[in-house]
Amino acid sequence: MTLTQLHYMIAVAEYGNFTIAAEKCFVTQPTLSMQVQKLEDELEVKIFNRATKPIILTDVGKKILVQAKRITEEAIRMQDIVSIEKGFIGGEFKLGIIPTVMPTLLPMFLNTFIKKFPKVDLKIEELTTQNIIKMLEEGHLDAGIAATPLAMDHILELPIYYEPFVGYIPEGNPLHSIDQIEVDDLNMTDLLVLEDGHCFRNHVLNLCKMNQIGGVPFDLKSGSIETLINLSDEGPWMTLLPYLHGNNLTETKKKNLRFFPEPAPAREVSLIHYKSQLKLPVINALRSTVSSIIRGAIRFENIKVITPERT
Give residue 211's pLDDT: 46
**More confident site: 235 or 148:** 148
Give residue 218's pLDDT: 43
Give residue 182's pLDDT: 85
**What are 225-247's pLDDT values in tens digits?**
888 888 888 878 888 889 999 88
Give residue 311's pLDDT: 43
Q: Write a three-state SS string for the chain.
A: CCHHHHHHHHHHHHHCCHHHHHHHHCCCHHHHHHHHHHHHHHHCCCCEECCCCCCEECHHHHHHHHHHHHHHHHHHHHHHHHHHHHCCCCEEEEEEECCCCHHHHHHHHHHHHHHHCCCEEEEEEECCHHHHHHHHHHCCCCEEEEEECCCCCCEEEEEEEEEEEEEECCCCCHHHHCCECCHHHCCCCCEECCCCCCHHHHHHHHHCHHHCCCCCCCCCCCCCHHHHHHHHHHCCCEEEEEHHHHHCCCHHHHCCEEECCCCEEEEEEEEEEECCCCCHHHHHHHHHHHHHHHCCCCCCCCEEECCCCCC
**What are 9-66's pLDDT values in tens digits?**
999 998 999 999 999 899 999 999 999 999 999 999 999 999 888 899 999 999 999 8
Give residue 308's pLDDT: 66
- Looking only at the bridges linking them, the beta strands covering 48-49 and 191-192 are unpaired
> Is pLDDT above 50 for 196?
yes
How many angstroms separate the first and last alpha carbons of the chain? 43
**More confident site: 215 or 289:** 289
Q: Which is the CATH superfamily of the domain at 89-161+267-302? A: Periplasmic binding protein-like II (3.40.190.10)
**What are 257-308's pLDDT values in tens digits?**
999 888 888 889 999 998 766 688 889 999 999 999 988 788 777 888 877 6
Separation CA 205–CA 193 (nearest Å) = 8
Give residue 220's pLDDT: 52
**More confident site: 98 or 306:** 98
Q: Where are the domains of the chain?
A: 3-84, 89-161+267-302, 163-265
Separation CA 166–CA 51 (nearest Å) = 57
Q: Which range among 103-112, 142-151, 295-304 shows the weakest confidence by mean pLDDT?
A: 295-304
Q: Which range among 154-168, 179-193, 211-225 shows the weakest confidence by mean pLDDT?
A: 211-225
Separation CA 286–CA 160 (nearest Å) = 10
Same fold, 3-84 and 163-265: no
As assigned by CATH, the class of the 3-84 domain is mainly alpha
> Is pLDDT above 70 for 198?
no
Give residue 75's pLDDT: 80
Q: Which range among 11-20, 59-68, 125-134, 190-199 shows the weakest confidence by mean pLDDT?
A: 190-199
Indicate the pLDDT class of residue 195, thresholds 50, 70 and 90.
Answer: low
The fraction of the chain above a pLDDT of 90, given in percent, is 42
Query: Into which CATH architecture does domain 163-265 fall?
Result: 3-Layer(aba) Sandwich (3.40)
Q: Which range among 107-116, 126-135, 273-282, 286-295 shows the weakest confidence by mean pLDDT?
A: 273-282
